[in-house]
Structure 1
Amino acid sequence: MINAVGRDIPDAVLAETGKTVFRGSRHFDGYSYEKTAVKARARIGGEGSKLEKDLQEVLRKCNAHDGMTISFHHHFREGDLVAMQVMQAIHDMGFKNITICASSLSKAQDALVPMLEDGTVTHIESSGVRGKIGEAISEGKLQGIAILRSHGGRVRAIETGETKIDIAFIGAPSCDEYGNCRAVGGNSNCGVLSYSAIDAEYAEYVVVLTDCLVPFPNFPADISMTDVDYVLKVDAIGDPEKIATGAARPVTDRRKLMMAESCAKFIAATPYFKEGFTFQTGIGGAASATALCLSEKMREKNIHMGFGAGGMSKPMCDLLDEGLVSCLLDTQDFDLPSIENLISHPKHFSISTKEYADPFCKGAVVNKLDFV
């Protein structure tokens, strides 16, 4: 069937996913829907602790089963240790036909490939697939379909019930015994937990893995105790030094710098480049460098940015420190300086991915952007 941009989508894919072809974003303007129901469990009295000692026991308590859907977030990027700890336990327990719904997958999860081949994992839903997992999918080693969505589209799929998460696993740099999570305050700070907020709200069970237990209450919490079922203390959840790897390294490639300079010139030549303009940059080398080049244009014309949004890196934080941008709306931190800036600067705000880009909500930050 032909979609709104002229691509022929195989009928077999539509039948397996239950989807219809894309008919254009404007088709959904004003669209109304019912959010999916969430099973809730009361927790009355008790010892005031959700601490568990064994991951396999936690899986049993969460009714782990063949064919379940589990989720992970990618705020630790290439330093993530949570996903493979969980998947190894699932593999050891013999579960099959697992769907992984991750905000992104990278080479930190390369060890998943044998689990694709033996049928432990048969479906993947993500906003990005890199490394050996991407190669394995391209080579047909995944038995089911891989669905890639935008970050906002992932929120929509969970909220509408298109994707139903049985168990969400959240790596938290600090957590108290009752489940209040923060993305800072521990050994493996990642800055924000924006991608996992929707998982915590809609998953049937929510399990927090942390390598830093702190006294109750761990406030202000990025993920609240009201959404958490179990807390598991592990040796390590991630290596924060590996957040600033790959595309997050400082840009020295002359070709990428030339691209960034051209982008900044183009932005400065448009009528949208005026006092209070809004801007988002990603973590690609040229994209990060564009923020640096753009700052020169802003100083030349004495123009200030209204807000900067999306994933943050040092160049964007430098704009905030200099007063060239009024505030930052942060969904992910790509390097250690951006994490430190989030902790120290009162105008560096953490926002959820729903607030950032959910297309089925009453207003998202992406709708307010002039440049991306």
Structure 2
Amino acid sequence: MVVNKLGRDIPQEYADQFGVFEGELENIKDYQESTRTIKPAKPRDEKLVGSIREAIEKTGLKDGMTISFHHHFREGDYVMNMVMDEIAKMGFKNLSIAPSSIANVHEPLIEHIKNGVVTNITSSGLRDKLGAAISEGIMENPVVIRSHGGRARAIARGDVHIDVAFLGAPSSDEYGNANGTKGKAVCGSLGYAMVDAKYADQVVIITDTLVPYPNTPISIPQTDVDYVVVVDEIGDPKGIAKGATRFTKNPKELLIAEYAAKVITNSPYYKEGFSFQTGTGGASLAVTRFMREAMKKDGITASFALGGITNAMVELLEEGLVEKIIDVQDFDHPSALSIDRNAGKHYEIDANMYASPLSKGSMVNRLDTCILSALEVDTDFNVNVMTGSDGVIRGASGGHCDTAFA
């Protein structure tokens, strides 16, 4: 066993493989950025292929490789299940998956794990039946949980090397220019997918809305894309707001939110030009509503709102209470539409710029206040966002530790 800085025993094999916690700033050092294998496109090459199976075949996917997905569709995502079902039918085994997060809708992964298709997972979170199944021990190898900033760091530094990224995009042209603001299944920012596209050896864009070339605005550029597949549906936009994202009428949660807002408004950070971020839980979303009333009363404007964006933040922008929105993902359909409607004030960024501790300066470094939900908090303010009191995995690291330290 190896003892980390918090006094916890870490098995030697995992300490050797992943390292141990030595302090928040201990590993923020100069590093060599990850490299990837590029297969150049010749002038007459076509990227558009006829099916997910054909795209998988063209990438040369092999047993033991690492593939990735993004979670911008949240509970409305169809892409991961479609791709994994096809991969299983083709007989692949021993794959590692590195999605930016895993939702309840990805329950079919349980069978892929039991059948040996998936043997390793790294993600920011696990939920519902999949989280319970993994907690019960269906995987031989440990799941590696990384925060959103930690995942971006790991990919950029090469700790996680993605062989093939399968990225759902609400719209794309035939050459791979993709965005999340046009199409049938608008999800808004593609901030997590952008990191995968930049560092994966090969990138497959899966879309249900093919548009004429060139597709703009460009979130993922053609220079990062190898293949484009058109399917009937990539996701249900209504599913973006399901699960963790919810507005509350619970009196207890509303009281917590009111107290949290009072803590902020009575702090030295609450002044003209302050910045803030809120999470997706009922209480943390309600804080935004209380903050709105305080800001109107006090005549205070925020310089920017950061992180996962909700319609409550968009309303602050459009009321002039927030000058800019910096957006790595959208938690509801109205905020996804705002990027296009409020172009110039509502900016899409990738996860590296959002929260990577090894970037040349992430947005969380400039954040004044942050309101996030938690499963448990003890009297010393240690926060647990991953497991219930029964030890079962049912949450996500998300941007918690990234924003909390900043």
Q: Same fold (TM over 0.5)?
A: yes
* Residue number in structure 1 paired with 2:22: 23
Structure 1 residue 88, shift from structure 2 partner: 0.4
Write out per-residue CA displacement over residues 270-328 of structure 1, whole angstroms, 9 at most, x where no aligned residue.
11111111101111111111011111121222111111000011111111111111110
* Residue number in structure 2 paired with 1:305: 302
Q: Which amino acid in 1 is paired with 2:281? A: G
Aligned-partner Cα distance in 1 for 2:140–2:63: 15
* Residue number in structure 1 paired with 2:72: 75
Which of the residues 86, 90, 93 maps onto 1:89?
Answer: 86
* Residue number in structure 2 paired with 1:189: 186
Aligned-partner Cα distance in 2 for 1:42–1:314: 41
* Residue number in structure 2 paired with 1:358: 356
Secondary structure, in 3 states, of the residue corresponding to 2:3? coil
Which of the residues 255, 258, 263 maps onto 1:258?
Answer: 255
Aligned-partner Cα distance in 2 for 1:258–1:359: 34
* Residue number in structure 1 paired with 2:397: none
Which of the residues 318, 326, 330 maps onto 2:327?
Answer: 330
* Residue number in structure 2 paired with 1:123: 120
Structure 1 residue 249, shift from structure 2 partner: 2.7
Q: Specify every segment of 5 or more residues in structure 1 that has no aligned partner in the other structure, as ranges.
A: none
1:158-307 matches, within 5 Å, as 158-307=155-304
Aligned-partner Cα distance in 2 for 1:55–1:28: 39
Aligned-partner Cα distance in 2 for 1:36–1:351: 20
Aligned-partner Cα distance in 2 for 1:180–1:153: 27
Aligned-partner Cα distance in 2 for 1:345–1:43: 35
Aligned-partner Cα distance in 2 for 1:199–1:215: 24
Aligned-partner Cα distance in 1 for 2:327–2:51: 34
Aligned-partner Cα distance in 2 for 1:62–1:42: 13
Aligned-partner Cα distance in 2 for 1:32–1:163: 18
Structure 1 residue 26, shift from structure 2 partner: 2.3
Maintained 8 Å contact 1:305/1:326: yes
Aligned residue pairs, count = 368
State the 4+ residue runs in structure 1 displaced beyond 6 angstroms: none
Secondary structure, in 3 states, of the residue corresponding to 2:360? coil
Aligned-partner Cα distance in 1 for 2:335–2:19: 40
Which of the residues 346, 363, 370 maps onto 2:368?
Answer: 370
Q: Which amino acid in 1 is paired with 2:368? A: D
Q: Which amino acid in 1 is paired with 2:359? A: C
Structure 1 residue 130, shift from structure 2 partner: 0.9
Maintained 8 Å contact 1:119/1:143: no
* Residue number in structure 2 paired with 1:38: 36
Q: Which amino acid in 2 is paired with 1:155? A: A
Secondary structure, in 3 states, of the residue corresponding to 1:327? strand
* Residue number in structure 1 paired with 2:399: none
| TM norm structure 1 | 0.97
Secondary structure, in 3 states, of the residue corresponding to 1:25? coil
Aligned-partner Cα distance in 1 for 2:52–2:336: 29
* Residue number in structure 2 paired with 1:7: 8
Aligned-partner Cα distance in 1 for 2:133–2:240: 24
Secondary structure, in 3 states, of the residue corresponding to 1:326? strand
Structure 1 residue 39, shift from structure 2 partner: 1.0
> 1:315 and 2:316 equivalent?
no
Aligned-residue RMSD, C-alpha = 1.1
Maintained 8 Å contact 2:203/2:225: yes
Aligned-partner Cα distance in 1 for 2:216–2:318: 25
Secondary structure, in 3 states, of the residue corresponding to 1:340? helix
More displaced stretch, 58-67 vs 355-364: 58-67
Structure 1 residue 252, shift from structure 2 partner: 1.5
Maintained 8 Å contact 2:188/2:339: yes
Maintained 8 Å contact 1:116/1:143: no
Aligned-partner Cα distance in 2 for 1:232–1:121: 23
Maintained 8 Å contact 2:246/2:281: no
Maintained 8 Å contact 1:330/1:348: yes
Q: Which amino acid in 1 is paired with 2:272? A: E
Secondary structure, in 3 states, of the residue corresponding to 1:168? strand
Structure 1 residue 23, shift from structure 2 partner: 1.1
Q: Specify every segment of 5 or more residues in structure 2 that has no aligned partner in the other structure, as ranges.
A: 371-406
Aligned-partner Cα distance in 1 for 2:338–2:327: 11
